[in-house]
């Protein structure tokens, strides 16, 4: 019975788990690029290490070491890799740090002071970043574990008191090495939990696409790391801004990511695109009205000739009124993704009327339009763009079959009008694209789109358009480190 209950509970949990509309996989191919940028950032952070002054007395000699600064980081061996449960691990071995500090020595009435260069050698650092989902659905560095050690230090003392410094160097160097060991990990912890999180704060979670629609990129669960990649599941759902709490149930096929040849892969299910079209439909944006001069001249003449019998029965004041052509989508369009390509199916009403000045409009005809558009997806920078092309077009009457036959002459001109007048306006808006959940300063390059049954994947490489330091400085929070 206990086993049966456990299976039932697992089934219920799985049944109610929300499916992602968007998935992102970062592979180990990206880590070399990330490591290069990360090490530059790490070197700059280590230069901020502040070591307390070191004071002491040995016999009649009083010494003071102050203003210790890290001047450079030299790496011999470094590795960045994924690790299950730890997410991201950076290992630095046998590195060296360049140091500069001020020395002061007092012996009775004699004084010596100045600046000197030193080096910390055999520096080993191992730090692991734990990534998780916070309460708002944002990816965060939730924990940083760190181990750091300095095996030896060397300082080239000189001057009149060189022999004295060499005598005192055992105390001075061991004290500095102890203090340096204590300072490395706090700097890395602050860099991970504060500075890197300020970078992750630039990843859009719930933001507006335009004045009508927004998009929700909330993480559905904590990122999952394997030995070769990091996978993230995002809600990937659009919503009308006027109905912020509305959401479309996701019943689409869950996108799958199997490839690991490129630096990053992004997958979108049919739900991602369906939620966009349903949001615009609910925002009443899927309609178009052409009146008077906006109706192409040839189409205006053809429509007046087609409905001449109805027009001549109207009053003379109405006969020469401007013509109105209105298209209104009747139901949310639906996207279908197959290995052969992506299509969008649309059903709309087409209303033709005369619009006399200061009088109610006079309807001449109403018909139904079924259209199928081919959709070509592309990723540019970090924007997903779509280009539509009208492939199939059919108009018919919902009143009678006889009236549908009478509409056949209008089919070709209306299709031409859509291709020349409507599709360019639609594609101009679609080509602006929607942002993918990436941090500021990181873009996609060399993208390849692959269609599957129910979802599509885009493989790409990463490019740092801005350095980590530049983005972090722009978004850096108030310094929270304890001096």
* Location of each CATH 3.15.10.10 domain in the chain: 29-203
Give the burial string for 316-344 (b: 16+ CB within 10 Å, else e).
eeeeebbbbbbbebeebbebbbeeeebbb
286-432 CATH pick, 3.15.20.10, 3.40.50.970, 3.10.50.40, 3.40.190.10: 3.15.20.10
Quote the pLDDT of residue 413: 77
* Location of each CATH 3.15.20.10 domain in the chain: 286-432
Quote the pLDDT of residue 272: 94
Give the burial string for 22-53 (b: 16+ CB within 10 Å, else e).
bbbbbbbbbbebbbebbbebbbbbbeebebee
Architecture of domain 29-203: Super Roll (3.15)
pLDDT tens digits for range 426-465: 888 888 888 888 888 888 889 999 999 999 999 999 988 8
Number of Cβ within 10 Å of residue 152's Cβ equals 12
Quote the pLDDT of residue 355: 84
The segments of the chain whose pLDDT lies below 70 read 1-16, 56-61, 63, 104-105, 107-114, 156-173, 176, 309, 312-313, 400-403, 406, 477-483
Structure tokens at 225: 């790391």
Quote the pLDDT of residue 10: 41
The label of the residue with tokens 């070197």 reads 43
Which H/E stretch holds residue 200? helix 197-200
In sequence order, which residues have a C-beta less than 8 Å from that of residue 98 and are 6 or more positions away? 70, 71, 72, 73, 74, 117, 118, 119
Task: Give the pTM.
Answer: 0.83
């Amino acid at each position: 019975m206990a086993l049966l209950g456990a299976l039932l509970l697992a089934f219920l949990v799985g049944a109610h788990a929300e499916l992602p509309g968007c998935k992102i996989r970062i592979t180990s191919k990206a880590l070399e690029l990330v490591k290069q940028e990360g090490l530059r950032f790490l070197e700059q952070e280590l230069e901020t290490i502040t070591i307390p002054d070191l004071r002491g007395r040995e016999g009649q000699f009083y010494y003071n070491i102050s203003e210790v600064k890290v001047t450079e980081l030299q790496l011999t061996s470094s590795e960045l890799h994924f690790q299950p449960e730890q997410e991201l691990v950076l290992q630095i071995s046998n590195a060296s740090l360049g140091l500069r500090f001020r020395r002061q020595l007092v012996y009775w009435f004699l004084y010596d002071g100045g600046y000197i260069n030193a080096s910390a050698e055999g520096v080993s650092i191992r730090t692991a970043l734990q990534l998780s989902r916070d309460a708002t659905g944002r990816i965060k560095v939730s924990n940083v574990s760190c181990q750091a050690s300095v095996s030896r230090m060397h300082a080239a003392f000189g001057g009149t008191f060189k022999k004295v410094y060499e005598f005192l160097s055992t105390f001075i160097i061991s004290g500095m090495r102890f203090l340096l060991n204590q300072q490395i990990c706090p700097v890395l912890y602050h860099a991970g939990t504060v500075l890197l999180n300020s970078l992750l704060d630039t990843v859009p979670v719930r933001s507006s696409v335009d004045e009508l629609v927004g998009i929700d990129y909330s993480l559905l669960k904590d990122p999952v790391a394997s030995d070769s990649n990091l996978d993230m599941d995002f809600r990937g759902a659009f919503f009308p801004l006027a109905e912020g709490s509305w959401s479309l149930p996701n019943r689409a096929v869950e996108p799958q990511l199997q490839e690991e040849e490129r630096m990053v892969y992004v997958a979108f299910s049919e739900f991602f695109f369906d939620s966009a079209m349903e949001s615009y439909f609910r925002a009443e944006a899927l309609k178009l009205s052409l009146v008077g001069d906006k109706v192409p001249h040839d189409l205006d003449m053809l429509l007046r000739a087609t409905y001449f019998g109805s027009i001549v029965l109207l009053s003379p004041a109405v006969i020469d009124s401007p013509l109105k052509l209105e298209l209104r989508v009747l139901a949310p369009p639906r996207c279908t993704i197959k290995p052969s390509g992506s299509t969008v199916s649309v059903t709309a009403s087409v209303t033709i009327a005369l619009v006399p000045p200061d009088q109610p409009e006079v309807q001449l005809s109403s018909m139904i339009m079924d259209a199928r558009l081919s959709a070509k997806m592309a990723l540019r920078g970090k924007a997903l763009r779509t280009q539509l092309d009208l492939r199939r077009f059919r108009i018919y009457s919902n009143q009678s079959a006889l009236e549908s036959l009478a509409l056949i002459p209008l089919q070709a001109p209306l299709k031409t009008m859509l291709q020349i007048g409507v599709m360019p306006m639609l594609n101009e808006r679609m080509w602006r694209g929607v942002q993918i959940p990436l941090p500021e300063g990181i873009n996609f390059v060399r993208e390849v789109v692959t269609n599957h049954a129910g979802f599509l994947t885009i493989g790409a490489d990463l490019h740092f358009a801005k350095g980590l330091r530049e983005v972090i400085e722009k978004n850096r929070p108030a310094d929270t480190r304890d001096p």
